[in-house]
Amino acid sequence: MIHFVLLISRQGKVRLTKWYSPYSQKERSKVIRELSGTILSRGPKLCNFVEWRGLKVVYKRYASLYFCMCINQEDNELEILEIIHHYVEILDRYFGSVCELDLIFNFHKAYYILDEVLIAGELQESSKKTVARLVATQDSLVEAAKEEANSISNIIAQATK
């Protein structure tokens, strides 16, 4: 199972964290500090796996962002590596050629999408199309609620004129 997901920029800034195993806030900071030190310093052309505290971190760099997922030692590393890519492709499709800025300003979207890809540290949906559809439905629900609110407030505004 995936214990946690980290998105870290090349400068060591955290862009997203998701913890499927219970870590306290203190432990979380420690993990991030340790791992960003280890992973960011790794050169190109090395393998995508880092052994860490009896666990394994599978990571991949996309432009300025490192996507990291921590798994058990006996888990299938390549499978996780492609879960990362699967997630990136979905982000890419949603934002239209995703870049780090998209994820900074829309970090909540990145979280929503991740929740459609993983639950309990396991892959939930391997179809990009399905994920895209579900996220779109959520967006439209939010939009609809907003419009409704607006229209009600309009009504109230008019009524109190």
Least distance CB 59 / other proteins (angstroms)? 11
CB 23, CB 121: distance < 8 Å: no
Cα distance between residue 134 and residue 5, in whole Å: 21
Counting contacts by CB under 8 A, is residue 158 touching other proteins? no
**62 forms part of the interface with other proteins (CB under 8 A):** no
Considering the rule CB under 8 A, would residue 20 count as an interface residue with other proteins?
yes
Please pick, from the candidates 11, 24, 158, 160, the single residue that binds other proteins as defined by CB under 8 A.
24
- The single-letter DSSP state of residue 54 is T
How many whole angstroms separate alpha carbon 109 and alpha carbon 134? 13
Structural contact between residues 9 and 100, judged by C-beta atoms closer than 8 angstroms? yes
Select from 23, 48, 43, 45 the least CA-distant residue to 33: 23
Binding mask 69-108 for other proteins (x = CB under 8 A): ----xx-xxxx-xxx-xx--------x------x-xxxxx
**Considering only residues 119, 136, 156, 157, which one is a binding residue for other proteins as defined by CB under 8 A?**
119
Enumerate the β-bridge partners of residue 17.
6
Greatest CA separation for the chain:
68
Residues at the contact surface with other proteins, assessed by CB under 8 A = 13-20, 22-25, 29, 32, 42-43, 45-51, 53-54, 73-74, 76-79, 81-83, 85-86, 95, 102, 104-109, 111-112, 115, 119-120, 122-130, 134, 137-138, 141-142, 145-146, 149
